[in-house]
């Protein structure tokens, strides 16, 4: 499977999922988890939690041997995960260079024939044992599409593993081996983690088993463009390829994160690593164990971040909340009366400070629950009653904190007063291109920020959702015909996706 390249907010640079490649050939949701802190794992509980009064209390931070003692106790619970994936390739056939009539074609067919249509790829990652009966927590990208998973324990024993459940949206996976009385790493409370707090990363970078590095929490709540549920812990503890799925440990000996990605222009660690908060794993693990996937709540709005300029335009005292740029037809939001231009400031009693917070809050609300949502409309606060729907795969795009770049390489937003002023589109309505990705099909076709999209493939579009749907209907090998308006003039543009 190899190292997965990821690009998001870091334009022109590289974000790496830290699973190491050895060979490359070619929010759920419960209203309450009702957890009881334990000191040992039990067969009735999926994971364990340790109180702060445990043997590695944070009060011992002055102890110079704390990392030594933690490493000795916890490294046996960190495992090396090796996966094999069958990659389907194109059928290759040898021919004579002199054409079909060459008599040597029979020779090529007899001795070479059709080459195999598939080959194998292997990769390495990390994981850690969360209960004594063999459940292991890791990243989804470590085991995704794997046809075979092998787990090597710290004591050298090796087991075949099976996937219990995966959640690509949070990059969390639960696997299991058939073993008992295994050492475990308890879960901590990532919400209480503080910037500047010392942490330790354990994993298998480049296949080097049970490597330990230390650092601090550099930041919390990082949004790096990986998806609508981004809420990463940033750390300067050295994380490299192969660390994916390993634990980030606090001074109490508890896992507070799952090491997932690094920001690196070179491919190696430069002290900027990212871990999934363990509290997010607590939300999805029960569903992964019981049903293999995660069911999430759905609202049905496209939202964007509120800038100080937008806050002034919409009559807000502070640039807080999530600005609704589009409402999905037939969605819970539409039924509740949500309108474009509404600013969502509270959902089910939870304050919404930014657009990055809303998707997680909605996703973690039980499907079918009726909640109160507060919005600012025309400078006044209103309370709306919303019945939360169930998020389907095709509905995820409507939840993203900003308009996602399409395969054509454009960002689009619903035209609002601030964008109208920015691009000089007075008295216009509809969807405007706000960014064009360098070297993209859209740039090659001559599209520019400020272009107003009127039609896609001869279909009139006036909302972001209509643009998205029109693009989704375009077949991979077909060009996209876009009617745009620029400087008062309209013209058709043909965009060919070379990818």
Q: How many Å apart are CA 353 and CA 290, to the nearest integer?
A: 33
- What 24-27 contacts at long range (C-beta under 8 Å, 24+ apart), as own/partner pairs, is 24/121, 24/123, 25/87, 25/119, 25/120, 25/121, 26/87, 26/89, 26/119, 26/121, 27/170, 27/229, 27/280, 27/283, 27/284, 27/294, 27/296, 27/297, 27/360, 27/363, 27/364
Q: How many Å apart are CA 445 and CA 449, to the nearest integer?
A: 13
Query: Which tokens sit at 3?
Result: 């190292």
- Check: CB of residue 197 under 8 Å from CB of residue 309: no
Within 8 A by CB and 6+ apart from 457, the residues are 470, 473, 474, 480, 481
CA 129 to chain centre: 23
Q: Which residues pair with 273 in a beta bridge?
A: 235, 262
Check residue 339 and report its DSSP letter. -
State the Cα angle at 483 between 482 and 488, rounded to 5°. Answer: 145
Q: How many Å apart are CA 47 and CA 185, to the nearest integer?
A: 9
Q: How many Å apart are CA 283 and CA 361, to the nearest integer?
A: 12
Q: How many Å apart are CA 78 and CA 128, to the nearest integer?
A: 4
Nearest to 238 by CA among 219, 224, 259: 259
Q: How many Å apart are CA 482 and CA 445, to the nearest integer?
A: 10
The β-bridge relationship of strands 459-460 and 480-486 is unpaired
Q: Which residues are catalytic?
A: 141, 171, 244
How much of the chain is in helix, strand and coil states, percent to nearest 5? 20, 35, 50
Task: Spell out the alpha helix ranges (H) of 150-199.
Answer: none
> What is the H or E stretch that residue 43 is in?
none
Q: How many Å apart are CA 120 and CA 21, to the nearest integer?
A: 12
């Amino acid at each position: 499977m190899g190292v997965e390249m990821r690009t998001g907010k870091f334009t022109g640079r590289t974000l790496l999922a830290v699973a190491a490649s050895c060979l490359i050939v070619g929010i759920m949701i419960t209203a309450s988890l009702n957890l009881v802190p334990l000191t040992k794992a039990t067969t009735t509980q999926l994971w364990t939690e340790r109180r702060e009064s445990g043997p590695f209390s944070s009060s011992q931070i002055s102890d110079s041997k704390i990392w030594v003692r933690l490493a000795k106790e916890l490294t046996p619970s960190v495992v090396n995960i090796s996966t094999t994936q069958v990659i389907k390739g194109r059928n290759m056939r040898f021919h004579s260079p002199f054409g079909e009539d060459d008599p040597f074609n029979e020779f090529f067919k007899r001795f070479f024939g059709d080459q195999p249509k598939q080959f194998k790829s292997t990769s390495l990652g990390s994981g850690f044992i969360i209960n004594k009966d063999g459940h292991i927590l890791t990243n989804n990208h470590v085991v995704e599409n794997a046809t075979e998973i092998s787990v090597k324990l710290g004591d050298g024993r090796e087991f075949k593993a099976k996937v219990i459940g995966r959640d690509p949206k949070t990059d969390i996976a639960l696997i299991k081996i058939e073993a008992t009385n295994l050492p475990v790493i308890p879960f901590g409370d990532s919400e209480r983690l503080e910037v500047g707090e010392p942490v330790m990363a354990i994993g298998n970078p480049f296949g080097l088993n049970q490597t330990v590095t230390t650092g601090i929490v550099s930041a919390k709540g990082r949004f790096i463009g990986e998806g609508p549920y981004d809420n990463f812990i940033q750390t300067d503890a050295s994380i490299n390829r192969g660390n994916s799925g390993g634990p980030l440990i606090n001074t109490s000996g508890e896992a507070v994160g799952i090491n997932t990605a690094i920001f690196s222009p070179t491919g190696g660690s430069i002290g900027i690593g990212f871990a999934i908060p363990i509290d997010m794993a607590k939300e999805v693990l029960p569903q992964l164990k019981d049903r293999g996937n995660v069911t999430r709540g759905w609202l049905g709005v496209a939202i964007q971040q509120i800038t100080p300029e937008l806050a002034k335009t919409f009559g807000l005292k502070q640039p807080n909340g999530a600005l609704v740029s589009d409402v999905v037809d037939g969605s819970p939001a539409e039924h509740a009366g949500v309108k474009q231009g509404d600013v969502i400031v509270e959902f089910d009693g939870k304050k919404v400070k930014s657009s990055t917070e809303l998707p997680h809050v909605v996703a973690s609300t039980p499907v079918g629950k009726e909640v109160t949502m507060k919005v600012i409309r025309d400078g006044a606060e209103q309370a709306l009653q919303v019945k939360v729907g169930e998020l389907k795969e095709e509905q995820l795009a409507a939840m993203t904190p900003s308009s996602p770049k399409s395969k054509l390489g454009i960002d689009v937003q619903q035209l609002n007063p601030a964008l109208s002023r920015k691009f000089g589109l007075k008295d216009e309505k509809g969807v405007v291109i706000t960014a064009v990705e360098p070297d993209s099909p859209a740039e090659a076709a001559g599209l520019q920020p400020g272009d107003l999209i009127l039609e896609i493939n001869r279909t009139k579009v006036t909302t972001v959702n209509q643009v998205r749907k029109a693009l989704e209907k375009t077949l991979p090998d077909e060009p996209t015909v876009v009617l745009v308006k620029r400087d008062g003039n309209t013209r058709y543009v043909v965009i060919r996706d070379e990818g």
